[in-house]
C-alpha cells in the first residue's frame, strides 16, 4: 500500500511456494488476495513479488504478461518491487548456501536480473520507482575457493548497472537494484558493504562516469544487520555517507539467545534442512563480535565453552508481531532503529517490504495460519510506522 509519506509497503511473497509462474500466480490468488481484503479494503494494494528465474521467463511471454497486468488492474493491486535473490528453488528442498548461486560472477545472474527489471518496468504503475533485491555479490566460501570471482563480480555489476541505466532512460523510470548484505557473505557488515562499493568504483571508472550508483545500491535487511550486532542508525548513516543508495528496507527480525544449556536446548527446534541459519557470537553488552558460524548446527556442535557474557544472534527470520518467547529474544530493536532513522531522513528510502519467509520451517508454536500471520505483521508494522508519523494510507 502507498502511505501518505510517500512510502510503499508490501510483504514479500517469498513466504509462499512457487517456482513456475503458474505456481506463483496460484499463491497470489490463494493467499495475497485474502490478505489484501483484510488490510487494504478500498485502496490500491502493493505486492512485493518474488520471481525465480523460471517464473520470470514464463511471465515474460507476452500473453502471460498481459494476463497478469489485467489481473492486477481487476484487483486494484500493483507491483513496485521484486525479490530477485533466489534464482531457483526456495521451498521444500535443501537451499542452504546454494541460494547465492548463481552469484554475481556469472552471466546467468546478470541476464536474470535484467529480465526482472524489464518485467517490473511493465508491471509497476506509471511513474512509480522500481526496486529489485539481489544476492550480496557472493558467498564468502565461494570466493575463498575461487578468488577470480571477485573481478568477475565487479565486471558483471557494471554490465548490469549500464543495462538498468539504459532501461531507465528508455522508460523514464527510477530503477534501482539493491545488493543485500548477509552474514558470511561477500558483503555482510555495513563496513564491508562500503568497502565493496569503493573497490568496485576503483576497479572501473565507468561506475562513476555512468553514475551507476544511482542504479545499484543496498537492500538493507534488518534481520541480517541485527544479527551482525550493528546499530541501525549508525549503519545507515555509514551507507549514506559513502554515497550509497538504500534501495529498499527489509523489515525483518532475528533470534537472539544466551547460549547456556537452556538456550542451546531450545535452539534445537530451529535446526532444519532447508535454509542457512548463520550464527554470530558477540558480547551481550558491547556488541563486540567474537565468532561466526556458517550454520546453526555448526554452532551447536562447537566444543568451545561459551563465555558468560556471550549472546548468539541467529539468522532465522521470526515473525514481527510477537516475541519468540523465553529463552529467546529478537532483534526488533534493530528494526525500530531503522524506522527511527527513516523518520529522521524522509525520502532516503521509499520502499519497505516485510520479509518473514521462514513460515514453513518455524517451530509449530510460532506458526499461525499464514494469512493470520501476514495480517498481524501488517498491523504491527503499521503501528510502528504510525508512531513515527509515517502511516496514513492513501486511497
**Residue range of the domain that includes 365:** 8-254+331-386
pLDDT at res. 395: 37
The pLDDT value given to residue 215? 98
Burial (CB < 10 A; 0-12, 13-18, 19+), residue 214, is middle
Q: Is residue 62 part of a domain?
A: yes
The answer to whether residue 336 sits within a structural domain is yes
Residue with cell 537472539: 256
Q: Given this model, what pLDDT does residue 92 score?
A: 87
Strand order of the β-sheet with 310-318 is 289-293, 279-283, 310-318, 253-257, 328-330
Number of domains within the chain: 1
For residue 281, tell me if it sits in a domain. Answer: no
For the full predicted model, state whether its pTM sits above 0.85: yes
pLDDT at 303: 63
Is residue 55 in a domain? Answer: yes
Write out pLDDT tens, residues 128-150: 999 999 999 999 999 999 999 99
Q: What is the pLDDT of residue 258?
A: 96
Nearest Cα to Cα of residue 325 among 256, 222, 250, 223: 256
The answer as to whether 238 is a domain residue is: yes
**Per the structure block, which three cell numbers stand in for 79?**
507491483
**For the chain, what is the mean pLDDT?**
96
- Asked whether residue 221 is domain-assigned, the answer is yes
Residue 292 lies in a domain: no
> Using CA atoms, how far apart are residues 69 and 47, in angstroms rounded to an integer?
13
Domain annotation covers residue 136: yes
Give pLDDT < 50 ranges for the chain.
Answer: 394-395
CATH of the domain at 221: 3.20.20.150
- List of residues 6+ apart from 2 with CB closer than 8 A: 8, 9, 44, 46, 393, 394
Distances (CA, A) of 105 to 18, 110, 138, 142, 248: 26, 9, 8, 10, 23
What pLDDT, on a 0 to 100 scale, did the predictor assign at position 4? 80
User: For every residue of 257-326, which 3-state class applies, written as one string?
Assistant: ECCCHHHHHHHHHHCCCCCCCCEEEEECCCCCEEEEECCHHHHHHCCCCCCCCEEEEEEEEECCCCCCCC
Residue 386 is predicted with a pLDDT of 94
Amino acid at each position: 500500500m502507498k502511505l501518505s509519506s510517500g512510502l510503499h509497503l508490501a510483504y514479500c511473497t517469498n513466504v509462499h511456494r512457487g517456482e513456475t509462474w503458474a505456481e506463483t500466480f496460484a499463491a497470489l490468488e490463494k493467499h495475497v488476495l485474502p490478505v489484501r481484503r483484510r488490510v487494504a479494503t478500498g485502496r490500491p494494494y502493493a505486492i512485493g513479488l518474488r520471481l525465480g528465474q523460471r517464473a520470470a521467463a514464463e511471465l515474460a511471454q507476452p500473453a502471460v504478461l498481459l494476463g497478469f497486468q489485467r489481473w492486477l488492474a481487476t484487483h486494484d493491486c500493483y507491483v513496485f518491487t521484486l525479490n530477485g535473490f533466489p534464482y531457483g528453488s526456495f521451498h521444500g528442498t535443501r537451499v542452504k548456501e546454494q541460494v547465492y548461486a548463481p552469484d554475481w560472477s556469472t552471466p546467468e545472474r546478470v541476464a536474470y536480473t535484467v529480465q526482472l527489471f524489464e518485467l517490473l518496468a511493465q508491471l509497476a504503475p506509471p511513474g512509480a520507482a522500481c526496486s529489485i533485491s539481489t544476492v550480496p555479490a557472493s558467498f564468502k566460501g565461494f570466493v575463498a575457493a575461487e578468488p577470480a570471482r571477485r573481478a568477475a563480480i565487479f565486471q558483471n555489476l557494471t554490465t548490469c548497472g549500464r543495462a538498468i541505466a539504459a532501461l531507465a532512460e528508455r522508460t523514464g523510470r527510477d530503477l534501482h537494484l539493491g545488493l543485500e548484505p548477509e552474514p558470511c557473505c561477500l558483503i555482510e557488515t555495513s563496513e564491508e558493504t562500503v568497502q565493496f562499493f569503493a573497490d568496485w568504483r576503483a576497479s572501473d571508472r565507468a561506475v562513476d562516469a555512468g553514475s551507476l550508483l544511482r542504479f545499484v545500491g543496498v537492500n538493507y535487511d534488518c534481520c541480517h544487520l541485527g544479527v551482525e550486532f550493528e546499530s541501525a542508525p549508525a549503519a545507515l548513516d555509514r551507507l549514506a555517507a559513502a554515497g550509497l543508495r538504500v534501495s529498499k528496507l527489509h523489515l525483518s527480525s532475528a533470534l537472539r539467545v544466551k547460549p547456556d544449556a537452556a538456550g542451546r536446548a531450545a535452539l534445537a527446534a530451529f535446526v532444519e534442512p532447508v535454509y542457512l541459519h548463520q550464527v554470530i557470537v558477540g558480547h551481550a553488552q558491547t556488541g563486540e563480535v567474537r565468532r561466526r558460524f556458517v550454520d546453526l548446527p555448526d554452532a551447536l556442535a562447537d566444543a568451545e565453552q561459551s563465555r558468560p557474557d556471550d549472546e548468539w544472534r541467529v539468522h532465522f527470520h521470526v515473525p514481527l508481531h510477537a516475541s519468540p518467547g523465553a529463552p529467546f529474544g529478537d532483534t526488533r530493536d534493530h528494526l525500530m532503529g531503522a524506522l527511527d532513522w527513516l523518520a529522521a531522513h524522509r525520502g532516503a528510502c521509499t520502499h519497505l517490504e516485510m520479509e518473514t519467509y521462514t513460515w514453513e520451517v518455524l517451530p509449530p508454536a510460532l506458526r499461525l495460519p499464514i494469512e493470520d500471520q501476514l495480517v498481524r505483521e501488517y498491523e504491527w508494522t503499521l503501528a510502528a510506522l504510525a508512531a513515527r508519523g509515517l502511516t496514513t494510507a492513501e486511497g
